């Protein structure tokens, strides 16, 4: 299992890097630090969506919704318990908040995964999009989390170390899940559902597992985001945010973890590099997306943990 | 090979991360501005940006302050949540600005405020009226009045001038500005003995309001309070007229724009709103501002956001001048000590919450123009 | 009762616009099997074409007038049909045999490109512009109900265009070729159908519909800006899926249903704030029971 070794190595390197990086954090320029954390959060989002859209071949347009559920849950939890906990236990509280956010998001994933059993392709896309929008509308009307004016004063606990350690864990979890004997089922479902089920693989279970796992990590990413930006508002989780993540996955090459990670980094940095073009920035950004799809439709990178031909979309 | 690439990438990341930002060069004062220049709320961001830009140009033409000229560094936040934090971080940490101007939307000001506060860089919001904005900390200021004041003003106006007993409230559920204003209006109006005949909501950017307006009509209110932005309000007025809802509509400073008249035409006739200044009962200062703005932007008439953007820059320049320094702490102290600043949007002072205290005026749309009705002092 | 009937009228008028936009989505989907995200932006371009054409026409023909409006609509429709064909030629044709998701992301890219370009100050600018009154408008008062002539017009035009479209697809040679391409592209090519021509025509037709929808939408709500298409576009997309994507009457039905649901939800205090979500909630409920939409045919996958 060469690929599993690869994943483990990534995990170790990632965590080591994260620990080293957080040691130097105070010396970092805050702008670059913020962008680096954004990169890490987007990696988690893209890799987790890749499990649903890439490996399992579903088409979800509601990832921002899971992120919102996780983010709001974690933020509210921290805000309620922050004052009751001594400083030394704050990291524990942060872990608890992130986990809770992930779990509640996973629950939402279950809610989306179940209807997905009956739906395919565009119908599934629109249902997940709908779920994402419903979550946004509900949050927009919940006074307990600030409704339209947003949730503010969230403690700033997200650090570079936390973000990249969690990103490494996400990559590791998704990669080992897919590469396990059990996990070959995801790819089988993605390649041919009918053939898979005739081989004794239960597509229903795999699809739900993909949605629940993907949503869990999206929830974690939401929690990190909340404690990074210190402010949440419902408008940040509309379907354009979901589309941003989908673009990362497709650009990275559906089902290719390394490619998706690099695509997430590139698509986070690109708008920042384009700042100097001021009001032409987003025009150039959209042209680049079109150009990339024409030049590299299979995704930017063909690097993969998988053996060749394991999955293609 | 892959390892090599990976390690290369890691070192590159570390290197960029530790790179230092540029500082203020000696000859200019670098001011950062963030605004929604593209995206859903670009209209408002562009207006405030144009006002700010005009102010900076005028200041520089007059020789700047402390013998230095201003340099405005503007960043676009695409009307998107998540962006203001990045942008303000960049302005402060990479560009090294001495102060931040922005944003119109309270939700985006709220996102940026903690960053300005942590870096001890003064931030002045031109038009965020949500009271929470300046609660973030002592470096956050604003040059506009806040929702509780405006909501109370309109509640009094409804009871005293309109003599309304039953008022329906039509809120933009997507906008914290609209929700805040609606809340304080409802409190004020019920306290004054009025009843709220109906509460309906729309989403900013909607184009069809007939469903809600039909429901409002069947509640038969004496007037309808519509705290919203002019782009939506104009369409609401048109559709209200089509549905035969012939009662006065009234709202807040979000109504103020020539566009309201251009789109709404005769449908906005006779309606009322509160705002910062009246162009027709103008002081020489307002007349000069309107003329300069028109000249600079090809005949475009400034809206409230443009005037406030202009004021935010002028207020900052005044603060720097009184502080005699571009040090963040000194500017903050000077701004907080403002007792009498003559802005385009009226004379103002800064209170202990770092909010501007100034009077509001109530205007009526009459004969295709805004006509001054009354001034309400705080 | 009066309240109910008035909301019914409001809902039908809104639903007709959704239906008209949904027709364009569904037609392109029927032939190419992908969702043309840029459709909603073509709608916006339709409204802006009319906005810029109107002053020129006003010099020759009086406005508002029926003839003047017709000429303006015709010119804008032609402009947008051209733009639609150009988008297909430049962005989608090179990707014809690539995975559908590639085309979908390209479509999102095209949509963003049009939106950001049009928001730029040297193109249209981001501010809302007043849309001219092209047609003489009146409100009819019938039994305490109020029906605006614009709303009647929308319902009327949608009905006519749906019939015309159905006729084109089912009764003309071009339509037969469209159905053949939709059924099996390779086989159609072997039968001598010029695939490029058919797809180009489909895009032209779809964009023309979007342009008409854009102008009608602008007449209803006469403030136009570069992002005006996004929200109705999303709703129409939902409507097309609701009715069974690829199915013309389904798109019309989905549009009307969505318009009515939104209107009734929007008219209830305490529910109007959930209006955006309600449409989706009902869509999900319907899809749970009819996974291929109301009129779509469920396909059985063969081994």
- Write down the pLDDT at residue A6: 62
User: Which of B275, B303, B336 is a domain's end point?
Assistant: B275
C265 with B243: Cβ contact below 8 A:
no
Q: Is residue B377 part of a domain?
A: no
Residue A251 CB coordination number (10 Å): 26
Domain of residue A24 covers 2-239
Q: Is pLDDT at B48 greater than 80 in this prediction?
A: yes
Q: Which residue, C79, C39, C36, C72, is CA-closest to C54?
A: C72
Distance CA C113, CA C121 (A): 14
What are the backbone dihedrals phi and psi of residue C139, each rounded to the nearest 5 degrees, phi first?
-110, 130
- Write down the pLDDT at residue C301: 52
- The CA-CA-CA angle for residues C16, C20, C23, to 5°, reads 135
Distance CA C21, CA C18 (A): 5
Q: Is residue B334 part of a domain?
A: yes
What total number of domains does chain A contain? 1
Q: Is residue C299 part of a domain?
A: no
Region B327-349: what's the mean pLDDT?
A: 91
Residues B82 and B134 in one domain: yes
Q: Is residue A280 part of a domain?
A: no
pLDDT in tens, C163-207: 999 999 999 999 999 889 888 888 888 988 899 999 999 999 999
Q: Is residue A70 part of a domain?
A: yes
Q: Is residue B354 part of a domain?
A: yes
Residues B266 and B337 in one domain: no
Q: Which of A58, A61, A122, A246 to mutate to test the interface with C (most CBs of C within 10 A)?
A: A122
pLDDT in tens, A109-124: 998 888 777 777 777 8
Q: Is pLDDT at A12 greater than 80 in this prediction?
A: no
Of C119, C139, C272, the CB nearest to B242: C139
Q: Is residue C101 part of a domain?
A: yes
Q: Is residue B7 part of a domain?
A: no
Q: In the block, which residue shows the tokens 């695509």?
A: A263
pLDDT in tens, A188-232: 888 777 788 787 788 888 888 899 999 999 999 999 999 999 999
Distance CA B290, CA B302 (A): 6
A297 with C102: Cβ contact below 8 A:
yes
Q: Cα–Cα distances in Å, from C145 out to A160, B144, B244, C8, C139?
A: 62, 43, 10, 11, 10
B211 with C232: Cβ contact below 8 A:
no
Q: Cα–Cα distances in Å, from B75 out to B45, B82, C267?
A: 11, 14, 40
Region B160-169: what's the mean pLDDT?
A: 92
C291 with A286: Cβ contact below 8 A:
no
A230 with B114: Cβ contact below 8 A:
yes
Q: Is residue B256 part of a domain?
A: yes
Q: Which residue, B119, B48, B62, B109, is CA-closest to B345?
A: B48
* Single pTM value for the model: 0.86
A229 with B82: Cβ contact below 8 A:
yes
Q: Is residue B6 part of a domain?
A: no
Domain of residue C175 covers 2-289
Chain A residue closest to B131 (CA)?
A149
Q: How many residues does chain A have?
A: 313
Q: Is residue A233 part of a domain?
A: yes
Q: Is residue A301 part of a domain?
A: no
pLDDT in tens, C104-157: 888 989 999 999 999 888 888 888 889 998 888 888 888 778 888 888 999 999
pLDDT class of C298 with cuts at 50, 70, 90: low
A148 with B175: Cβ contact below 8 A:
yes
Neighbouring chains to A with at least 3 Cβ pairs closer than 8 Å:
B, C
Distance CA A280, CA B70 (A): 24
Q: Is residue B93 part of a domain?
A: yes
Q: Is residue A289 part of a domain?
A: no
What total number of domains does chain C contain? 1
Q: Is residue A297 part of a domain?
A: no
Q: Cα–Cα distances in Å, from B213 out to A80, A186, A273, C294?
A: 40, 50, 46, 31
Residues B225 and B306 in one domain: no
Do the beta carbons of residue B230 and residue B259 sit within 8 Å?
yes
* Cross-strand partners of B124: B101, B141
Q: Is pLDDT at B14 greater than 60 in this prediction?
A: no
Domain of residue B259 covers 148-275
C274 to chain A: which residues are within 8 Å by CB?
A: 137-138, 141
Distance CA C2, CA C122 (A): 48
Distance CA B260, CA B228 (A): 12
- Write down the pLDDT at residue B270: 92
Residue A24 CB coordination number (10 Å): 13
Query: Does A118 touch chain C if contact means CB atoms closer than 8 Å?
Result: yes
SS (H, E, C) chain B: CHHHHHHHHHHHHHHHHHCCCCCCCCCEEEEEEEECCCCCCHHHHHHHHHHHHHHHHHHHHCCCECCEEEEEEEEECCCCCCHHHHHHHHHHHHHCCCEEECCCCHHHHHHHHHHHHHCCCCEEECCCCCCHHHHCCCCEEECCCCHHHHHHHHHHHHHHCCCCCEEEEEEECCCHHHHHHHHHHHHHHHHCCCEEEEEEEECCCCCCCHHHHHHHHHCCCCEEECCCCHHHHHHHHHHHHHCCCCCCEEECHHHCCHHHHHHHHHHHCCCEEEECCCCCCCCHHHHHHHHHHHHHCCCCCCCHHHHHHHHHHHHHHHHHHHHCCCCHHHHHHHHHCCCCEEECCEEEEECCCCCEECCEEEEEEECCEEEEEEEECC
- Close Cβ partners of C249 (under 8 Å, ≥ 6 residues apart): C162, C166, C243, C295
A126 to chain C: which residues are within 8 Å by CB?
A: 237-238, 241, 283, 287
Q: What is the mean pLDDT of chain C?
A: 88
Structure tokens at B80: 């998107």
B211 with C270: Cβ contact below 8 A:
no
How far is the alpha carbon of A203 from chain B, nearest alpha carbon, in Å? 35
Q: Is C140 helix (H, G, I), strand (E, B) or coil?
A: strand
Here the CATH number for the domain that contains residue C13 is 1.10.3470
Do the beta carbons of residue C3 and residue C218 sit within 8 Å?
no
- The CA-CA-CA angle for residues C209, C213, C217, to 5°, reads 175
Residues B344 and B243 in one domain: no
- The CA-CA-CA angle for residues B65, B68, B69, to 5°, reads 90
Residues B204 and B231 in one domain: yes
Q: Is residue C298 part of a domain?
A: no
Of C116, C241, C277, the CB nearest to A133: C277
What total number of domains does chain B contain? 2
Q: Is residue C149 part of a domain?
A: yes
Q: Is residue C303 part of a domain?
A: no
Q: Is pLDDT at B321 greater than 90 in this prediction?
A: yes
Do the beta carbons of residue B84 and residue A231 sit within 8 Å?
no
Sign of the dihedral through C-alpha C66, C67, C71, C77 = positive
Region C273-286: what's the mean pLDDT?
A: 82
CA dihedral A123, A129, A135, A136 (to 10 degrees): -150
Residue B284 CB coordination number (10 Å): 7
Q: In the block, which residue shows the tokens 């009025």?
A: B194
Here the CATH number for the domain that contains residue B222 is 3.40.50.2300
Of C120, C234, C277, the CB nearest to A279: C120
Q: Is residue C207 part of a domain?
A: yes
């Amino acid at each position: 299992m060469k690929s599993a070794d690869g994943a483990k190595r990534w995990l170790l390197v990632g965590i080591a890097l994260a620990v080293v990086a957080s040691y130097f954090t105070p010396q970092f320029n805050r702008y670059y630090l913020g962008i680096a954390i954004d990169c890490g959060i987007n990696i988690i989002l893209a890799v987790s969506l890749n499990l649903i859209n890439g490996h399992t071949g579903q088409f979800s347009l509601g990832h921002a919704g899971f992120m919102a559920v996780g983010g709001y849950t974690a933020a509210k939890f921290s805000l309620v318990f922050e004052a009751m906990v001594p400083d030394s236990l704050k990291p524990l509280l942060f872990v608890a908040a992130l986990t809770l956010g992930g779990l509640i998001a996973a629950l939402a994933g279950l809610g989306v995964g179940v209807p997905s059993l009956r739906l395919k392709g565009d119908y599934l896309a629109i249902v997940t999009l709908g779920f994402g929008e419903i979550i946004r509308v509900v949050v927009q009307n919940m006074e307990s989390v600030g409704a339209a004016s947003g949730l503010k004063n969230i403690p700033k606990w997200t650090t570079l170390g936390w973000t990249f350690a969690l990103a490494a864990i996400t990559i590791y979890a998704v990669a080992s899940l897919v590469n396990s004997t059990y996990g070959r089922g995801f790819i089988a479902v993605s390649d041919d559902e009918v053939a898979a089920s005739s081989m004794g693989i239960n597509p229903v279970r795999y699809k739900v597992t993909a949605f629940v796992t993907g949503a869990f990590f999206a929830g974690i990413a939401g929690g990190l985001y909340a404690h990074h930006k210190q402010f949440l508002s419902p408008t940040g989780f509309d379907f354009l945010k979901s589309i941003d993540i989908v673009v990362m996955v497709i650009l990275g090459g559906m089902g290719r973890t390394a490619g998706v990670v690099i695509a997430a980094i590139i698509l986070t940095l690109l708008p920042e590099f384009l700042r100097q073009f001021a009001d032409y920035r987003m025009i150039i950004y959209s042209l680049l997306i079109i150009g990339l799809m024409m030049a590299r439709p299979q995704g930017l990178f063909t690097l993969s943990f998988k053996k060749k031909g394991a999955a293609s979309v | 090979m892959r390892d090599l690439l990976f390690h290369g990438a890691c070192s590159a990341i570390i290197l960029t991360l530790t790179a230092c930002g540029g500082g203020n060069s000696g000859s200019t004062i670098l001011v950062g501005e963030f605004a929604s220049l593209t995206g859903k709320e670009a209209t408002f961001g562009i207006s405030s940006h144009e006002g700010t830009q005009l102010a900076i140009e005028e200041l520089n033409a007059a020789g700047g302050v402390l013998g230095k000229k201003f340099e405005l560094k503007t960043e676009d936040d695409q009307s998107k949540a998540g962006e203001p934090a990045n942008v303000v971080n960049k302005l402060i940490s990479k560009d090294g600005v001495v102060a931040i101007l922005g944003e119109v939307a309270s939700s985006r000001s709220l996102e940026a405020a903690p960053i300005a506060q942590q870096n001890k860089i003064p931030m002045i919001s031109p038009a965020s009226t949500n009271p929470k904005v300046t609660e973030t900390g002592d470096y956050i200021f604003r040059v506009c009045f806040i929702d509780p004041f405006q909501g109370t003003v309109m509640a009094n106006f409804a009871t005293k001038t309109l003599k309304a007993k039953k008022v329906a409230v039509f809120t933009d559920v997507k906008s914290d500005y609209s929700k805040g204003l609606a809340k304080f209006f409802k409190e004020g109006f019920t306290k004054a003995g009025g009843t709220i005949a109906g509460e309906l909501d729309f989403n900013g950017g909607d184009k069809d309001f007939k469903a809600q307006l039909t429901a409002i009509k069947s509640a038969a209110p004496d007037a309808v309070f519509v705290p919203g932005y002019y782009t939506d309000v104009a369409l609401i007025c048109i559709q209200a007229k089509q549905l035969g809802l012939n009662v006065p509509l009234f709202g807040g400073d979000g109504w103020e724009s020539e566009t309201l008249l251009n789109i709404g035409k005769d449908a906005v006739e006779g309606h009322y709103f509160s705002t910062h200044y009246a162009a027709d009962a103008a002081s020489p200062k307002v007349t000069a501002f309107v003329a300069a703005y028109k000249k600079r932007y090809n005949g475009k008439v400034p809206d409230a956001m443009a005037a406030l953007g202009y004021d935010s820059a002028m207020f900052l320049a005044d603060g720097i001048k009184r502080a005699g320094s571009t040090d963040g702490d000194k500017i903050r102290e000077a701004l907080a000590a403002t007792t009498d600043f003559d802005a385009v949007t009226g004379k103002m002072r800064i209170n202990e919450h770092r909010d501007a205290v100034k009077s509001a005026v109530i205007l009526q749309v009459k004969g295709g123009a805004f006509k001054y009705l009354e001034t309400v002092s705080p | 009762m009066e309240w109910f009937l008035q909301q019914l009228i409001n809902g039908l008028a809104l639903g007709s616009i959704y239906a008209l936009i949904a027709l364009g989505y569904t037609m392109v989907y029927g032939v190419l099997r992908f969702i043309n995200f840029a459709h909603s932006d073509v709608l916006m371009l339709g409204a802006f074409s009319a906005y810029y054409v109107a002053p020129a026409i006003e010099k020759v023909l009086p406005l508002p007038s029926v003839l003047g409006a017709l000429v303006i609509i015709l010119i804008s429709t032609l402009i947008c049909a051209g733009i639609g064909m150009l988008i297909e030629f430049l962005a989608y044709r090179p990707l014809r045999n690539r995975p559908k998701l590639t085309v979908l992301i390209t479509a999102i890219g095209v949509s963003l490109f049009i939106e950001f370009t049009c928001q730029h100050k040297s193109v249209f600018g981001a501010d809302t512009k007043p849309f001219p009154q092209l047609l003489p408008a009146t409100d009819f008062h019938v039994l305490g109900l109020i029906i605006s002539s614009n709303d009647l017009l929308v319902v009327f035009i949608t009905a006519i265009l749906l019939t015309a479209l159905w006729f084109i697809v089912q009764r003309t040679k071009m339509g037969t070729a469209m159905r053949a391409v939709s059924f099996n592209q390779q086989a159609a090519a072997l039968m001598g159908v010029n695939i490029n021509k058919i797809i180009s025509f489909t895009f032209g037709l779809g964009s023309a519909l979007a342009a008409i929808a854009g102008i009608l939408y602008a007449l209803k709500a006469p403030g136009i800006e570069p992002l005006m298409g996004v929200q109705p576009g999303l709703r129409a997309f939902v409507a097309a899926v609701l009715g069974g994507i690829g199915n013309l009457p389904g798109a019309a039905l989905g549009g009307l249903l969505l318009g009515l649901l939104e209107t009734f939800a929007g008219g209830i205090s305490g529910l109007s704030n959930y209006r955006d979500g309600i449409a989706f909630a009902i869509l999900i409920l319907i899809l749970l029971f009819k996974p291929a939409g109301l009129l779509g045919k469920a396909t059985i996958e063969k081994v």
